[in-house]
Each structure stands twice: as structure tokens, then as C-alpha cells.
Amino acid sequence: MIFADLFFLYVFMALCFIAYFISRKTVYRNWVLIVFSIIFYAWGEPVWVYLLIASVGVNYGAGLLIDKFRDTKKATLVTALTLIFDIGVLVVFKYTNFFIENFNAISPLDIPKANIEMPIGISFFTFQIISYVIDCYWGKILVQRSYYKLLMYISMFPQLVAGPIVRYSVIENEIDNRKITAEDISEGITRFCMGLGKKVILANNLSVIVDTFFKDGDISSLSVVGTWYVVICYAMQVYFDFSGYSDMAIGMGRIFGFHFDENFRYPFVSKNITEFWQRWHISLGTFFRDYLLYVPIFGKRRKYLNLFLVWFCTGFWHGASWNYIIWGLYFGLFILIERTVGAKRMRKIPTALSHAYNTVVVIIGFGIFYFTDLGKLGTFLGNLIGLNGNYFTDKISTQNMMANAWLVLVAIALCMPIIPALKKKLESMNLSLYYSVGQTVLNVAVFLMSSILLVNATNNPFIYWNF
């Protein structure tokens, strides 16, 4: 089950909200979330519910043991074994066939691939579990002594399968003590509707452009301008797809009384790659920053090794393919360059040049992210500067640009913080009422338009669904 689906919008979500709000006590509402979250996760893959429940059980027990043996070697051992279990589960389900393929490539053996299906969202909920265990060990949070409350935290369907990665510390107090205000509901509805519009109206239509040229077309014949055009559309597709899901998750969480952290803050306005990663997939970036970048290795923090591991893991987390590793290390290289140059020198670069630099690097990065076939990736990189003998422009991509001009221009505009700026301007003019009325009308319009577009939708998955 996915959010951008008529059954979810008009049946599942409606029933969940009804059951949630007729329950007056927080304990009953927690159980409503558990039941609906289990149904949500089991809808397409019922067998993996048991893996989720078992993983929560192992980490629940680990938390209790860590608290019992606080500040002893036993607590360290429990933490280490639990992390081995959590990471091991992720590796088995997500990376087994990747390791088999690469081992076969360098050895005379031909080990058959394992018949393993990857559980939806395993990367997201595994990292949430890991953050809980490490924070328990570091004493940053109180150990959760109720299995069902921990299960609710891990399985909560708004953020279960595609993030954001919600730290336990963020909602620790809200598990038992949360109040839902009219502002929460209003802001939650707005975030959900805007996220739905990002996904259905923008991302889905941009995906048609991308699939036409990159998936179904021969990229070797695509012109320089055409290649840049399509990869820019893909960058925006991923942004609206993933940030749209995050908006919907944050919006539903807000309606339920939970305040999740932001996951995107208009990353395309960044002036450098460091800033881009402070605005893009924030929950993943902060996870690696807090649990890997500053962690001592062999007794001390090793600046370059830690940085390498962060970006290697960032890439590898996204998928079991070499292009994702290249993608992670590609961004890591620019982070290293910017750190070497220094923040003060980076700020002295003219603003227009900084934005241009960031945009080019990021757009090329999305091309690396797209092509899992390294041969096609090489062709794509050559196409960008005409190394494959491709023309500067071509008729087909030019026609496509003209036909989709309004879609692309609106998408580019909405990558910028236009709406927050408008809200701020109206508030400064004491016209916030007009903004509220306009936002309500926009919510209804976007929801209805998205619903209409979903009637005949045949291919509507989230890009990050299987990450």
C-alpha cells in the first residue's frame, strides 16, 4: 500500500483517522496506530511483518539489558551484538546477491543468486532501530520498557517504509503525552496535500519524460541539450517524489500529534555541496554524522577515514549497485574539496557562480544515481559534453521540451522557497487571513486534482520505496 493511492486516501486513511479520534485516551490511540501500521505493512508483504516484529523484540530486549548493565562491558557487548544483528539482517536481505555477483565476477565459481526478496522499507526502519539502541547505550534517551510502545515507534505507518528516519528522541515524550491542536490538524492537512501534489502532479508527470528517454530510449543518440534536459527532469522527479512522501509523512504525523523533523529544506537553492546535504534527506545525513562521522575508529577519530566511510555508506545505503557507491563517493569528494578550501573561501565565491557550481555537480550526481548499468552511465557522462559524437540538440528532445514547458517551468519554480516567501510577505502586511483562505482552496484543489490523476494511474511507486 502506498500513500498516492485512492484506496489509501479514501478508505485506509479515513478509517484510521476515525478510529484514532474516537479513541479519547492516548493508550488507545497508540493501539490504533499499531494495528493500522501492521495492516499497512502487511498489505503487500504479510510475511515480512514477522521480521519487523521480531527485530523490534530483539532491540527491545537489548535496550533493557543495556540499562541493566549500564556503564559495564556487558552493556557494550549487548550493544555490539545487537548492532551486528540489525546490520546483519539488512545485509542479508539487501546485499546478498550483490556480494554473490561480485564474488562470481572475480572468481571461477558460479554461485547461484539467492532467492531473497527485500522487505519494503528495511533500510529506514533498521536505521531507526539502530539509532534507538545506540542512544540507549550513550544514555541520550530513557529505555522504553513497553514493547508495544517501541513497536508503535518503529512501525508507525507514516514513516515506516520511506522515511524520514525519525529518531526516538524526537517523539520520546509524545508517545505518552501528546496534545493535538487545531493548528496541528490544519498544518498536517496542508503538508499532506502539498506532498500528495508533489508526488502525483509533478513527480509522476516528470517520470514520463525521464522514462521516454532514459528507460525506453537509446541514450547514445540523445543530444547534449537533450541529456541535460532529461537529467534535470530526473533530479526534480526524485526531489518531488521523495520530499512529497516526506511531506505526507510529516503531515500525517502532525495530525496524530507527532512532530517529526524536516527532511528537505529546498536543497536546490544551495550554494555548495555541503549546504546541499544539509538540506537534502536531512534525516539520513544527520544519522551518519552523529553515528559514524565522529565515532572513534581504533581508539581515535580519523578524519579522512571517517569521511570516506560516511559517503561510502551513504551511497551503499541507497542500493546494492556500484553506481550508488560511486554516487556517494562522488559527493564525498566534493565535500572533501570544500573542506580543504575552507568555509570562509567558499563564501567569497560570487553567489551566481556558487549556485551554478552546486547545480551542475548535483545534476550530474543524479545521472550517476539513475544508471545502475555502468556502461550506460559512461554513455550518459559522455553525452553531457558531446564525447559520444552526439549532436548539440536534437528534434525529438526539443519537441518534448516545448510540449512540457509549463510542467518543467512550474517544477523549477516550486524547487524554490516561493510559497514560504509569499506567506512571510502577507504576514508582514497583516494579510495572513488571505494566505489561510488561499491555502485552504489550494489544498482542496490539489487533493481533487491528484485524486483525478490517480484514477487511471498504472505506474505510481515511490522511488525510495525499496531503499
The answer to whether residues 69 and 50 belong to one domain is: yes
Are 203 and 237 in contact by the 8 Å Cβ rule? The answer is: yes
For residue 271, what is the DSSP state?
A: S
The answer to whether residues 230 and 106 belong to one domain is: no
318 carries an active-site annotation: yes
Q: At 128, is the pLDDT very low, low, confident or very high (cuts 50, 70, 90)?
A: very high
Output the nine-digit C-alpha cell for 302.
580519523
The answer to whether residues 32 and 124 belong to one domain is: yes
CA distance 237 to 411: 9
Tell me what the pLDDT averaged over the chain comes to.
91
The answer to whether residues 120 and 267 belong to one domain is: no
Residue 459 in this model has a pLDDT that exceeds 90: no
- pLDDT tens per residue across span 255-280: 999 999 999 999 999 999 999 999 99
Final residue of a domain: which of 129, 158, 177? 177
Q: At 398, is the pLDDT very low, low, confident or very high (cuts 50, 70, 90)?
A: very high
246 belongs to a structural domain: yes
366 belongs to a structural domain: no
Residue percentage of the chain with pLDDT more than 70: 97
The answer to whether residues 156 and 193 belong to one domain is: no
Q: Model's pTM, two decimal places?
A: 0.93
Say how far residue 158 (Cα) sits from the centre of its chain.
13
Q: Of the listed 259, 281, 318, 355, which one is catalytic?
A: 318
The answer to whether residues 173 and 73 belong to one domain is: yes
* The predicted structure's pLDDT at residue 82: 95
Which range of residues forms the domain containing residue 421? 183-271+388-466
Are 313 and 288 in contact by the 8 Å Cβ rule? The answer is: yes
Residue 460 in this model has a pLDDT that exceeds 70: no
281 belongs to a structural domain: no
- pLDDT tens per residue across span 325-372: 999 999 999 999 999 998 889 889 999 999 999 999 999 999 999 999
Q: At 297, is the pLDDT very low, low, confident or very high (cuts 50, 70, 90)?
A: low
The answer to whether residues 161 and 211 belong to one domain is: no
Residue 103 in this model has a pLDDT that exceeds 70: yes
* The predicted structure's pLDDT at residue 328: 95
289 belongs to a structural domain: no
* The predicted structure's pLDDT at residue 190: 94
Say whether 31 sits in a helix, a strand or coil: helix
26, 30, 160, 277, 414 from 23: Cα distances, Å: 8, 10, 22, 40, 38
* The predicted structure's pLDDT at residue 299: 66
CA distance 230 to 212: 9
The answer to whether residues 43 and 170 belong to one domain is: yes
Residue type at 202? L
The answer to whether residues 172 and 187 belong to one domain is: no
* Number of domains the chain contains: 2
- pLDDT tens per residue across span 158-216: 988 777 999 999 999 999 998 899 999 999 999 999 999 999 999 999 999 999 999 87
Output the nine-digit C-alpha cell for 433.
487571513
